[in-house]
Structure 1
Amino acid sequence: MRIHLTSVFVDDQDKALRFYTEVLGFVKKTEVPLGEFRWLTVVSPEAPDGTELLLEPDVHRAVGPYKEALVADGIPAAAFAVDDVRAEYERLRGLGVRFTQEPVEMGPVTIAVLDDTCGNLIQIVHSES
């Protein structure tokens, strides 16, 4: 069994697509109109046939309180692996990305947390193991 698809709830699919592609560097994989919204996924350019990230509209009544609670407690909605957290932190800061946690080493793991501009905190992580 493998993870095929996961999602992050976003407040604006167009804004999310721009952020996740133009800033984070993912590429659009699927875009299917579904009435007011779209089935909109992105993937890593390093694994175009890998796990897809669904940029899912946050319209369900439970999503707003859920997202607000996660952000208030500093809990990331998702984690993305990078080769060098500090280098990615500097690259993204140069693009105007706001971080809620600067890079920190925790034994064999280095993490940082950013605001995705769509109502979520996202962790970037590198593990030595």
Structure 2
Amino acid sequence: MIRISVASVPVDDQEKALDFYTQKLGFIKKADVPLGEHRWLTLVSPQEQSGVELLLEPMAFEPARLYQQSLKEAGIPWTSFAVDDLEGEYQRLTELGVAFSIAPREAGTVKIAVLDDTCGNHIQLMQPL
């Protein structure tokens, strides 16, 4: 059986990303291993500490940087995170100064909102209806 172990999000600054993803979004650091000028830096959800790890991947490869920039300019989220209470998270994050390009709204069988992670990405928050 194959399972997802690590998923990545590209970031332009690992330290800034670590701060945003832990202090604003509430993830916790799982691994922090020096690798030359970068780090193997992963986060997990506090509710699923043995679950899928999110790798804050440094943008050291120019074609990947272009892809990230193109997605952001088009308003396309890099990835999506599930939440139980989208309105509550939107309110909490807005009070913390997080910028949203899409406020909470229904989209079929889910409610979504899209935030700017300050590290080069739009990130979608999703709540099943």
TM more than 0.5: yes
1:92-111 to structure 2, matched below 5 A, reads: 92-111=93-112
Q: Name 2:123's counterpart in structure 1.
A: 122
- Provide the secondary structure at the position in 1 that maps to 2:94: helix
Q: Name 1:36's counterpart in structure 2.
A: 37
Q: Name 1:77's counterpart in structure 2.
A: 78
Q: Distance in 1 between matches of 2:7 and 2:65?
A: 18
Q: Which amino acid aligns with 1:77?
A: W
Q: Name 1:86's counterpart in structure 2.
A: 87
Q: CA deviation at 1:73?
A: 1.1
- Provide the secondary structure at the position in 2 that maps to 1:76: coil
Q: CA deviation at 1:68?
A: 1.1
Q: Name 1:51's counterpart in structure 2.
A: 52
Alignment TM-score, normalising by the size of structure 2:
0.97
Q: CA deviation at 1:106?
A: 1.8
- Provide the secondary structure at the position in 2 that maps to 1:62: helix
Alpha-carbon RMSD across the aligned residues, in angstroms, is 0.7
Q: Which amino acid aligns with 1:99?
A: F
Q: Distance in 2 between matches of 1:78 and 1:39?
A: 19
Q: Which amino acid aligns with 1:22?
A: Q
Q: Distance in 2 between matches of 1:98 and 1:29?
A: 26
Q: Distance in 1 between matches of 2:21 and 2:59?
A: 16
Alignment TM-score, normalising by the size of structure 1:
0.97
Segments of 4+ moved more than 2 angstroms: none
Q: Distance in 2 between matches of 1:67 and 1:111?
A: 21
Matched length: 128
Q: Percent identity of the aligned residues?
A: 56
